A = this chain, B = another copy of it.
Amino acid sequence: MSESFPNGNSARSTRQKRALAGALARSSSFRSAQDLHAELRLRGERVGLTTVYNQLRALADTGELDVLRTDEGESLYRRCSSGQHHHHLVCRSCGMAVEVEADAVEAWAEAVARRNGFTAITHTVELTGVCPNCQ
């Protein structure tokens, strides 16, 4: 008996995945799918837009990428260094992001929610501004 992947677990290494991973690795900004796809095309990498969307979604689902949504509803992705829970201070001009921790905020959120009898709490905390370079 040699069931290849009983639990539906696999993962093939493809040219497209590597190209996208590269683009994400060399960027410290939050990027959109369209944006990343455009960069790959410029680099001569031939990757379908649908593939970029698929992969970004998959990577975000497994927690390998952080996601945030612009006011216009566009999803932006970034590979964060910290695997820990954290938040971001993002430049609204270039997308550059700084990872920040906020233990105090975590505690506050938990307390407020509990005080009001809410359960299954989650929170969103994002800081936006203009970075030093973009002033």
Residue among B102, B116, B131 making CB contact with A89, cutoff 8 Å: B116
State which of A2-10, A48-56, A105-113 sits at the interface with chain B. Answer: A105-113
Query: Is A125 a contact of B128 with CB atoms below 8 Å?
Result: no
Quick one: closest B residue to A125, CB to CB?
B125
Chain B positions within 8 Å of A102 at CB level? 108, 112
B124–A128 CB distance below 8 A:
yes
> Within the assembled complex, what's the spacing in Å between the Cα atoms of A113 and B131?
9
Name the one of B117, B118, B130 contacting A118, with C-beta atoms under 8 angstroms.
B130
The 8 Å CB contact of A113, one of B118, B124, B125, B127, is B127
> At the interface, yes or no: A63 with Cβ under 8 Å from chain B?
no
A130 to B114, CA, bound (A): 11
Contact residues, A94-135 vs B (CB, 8 A): 98, 100, 102, 104-105, 108-109, 112-113, 116-132, 135
Q: Is A17 an interface residue (CB 8 A)?
A: no
Check if A112 sits within 8 Å of B91, measured CB to CB. Answer: no
Quick check: A118 and B89 within 8 Å, CB to CB?
yes
Whether A123 and B126, one on each chain, are in contact in the complex, defined by CB atoms closer than 8 angstroms, is yes
* Residues in chain B near residue A124, CB distance under 8 A: 124-128
Residues of B within 8 A of A121 (CB): 127-129
Listed residue (A120, A129, A130) with the most chain B CB atoms within 10 angstroms of its CB: A129
Q: Is the CB of B128 within 8 A of A112?
A: no
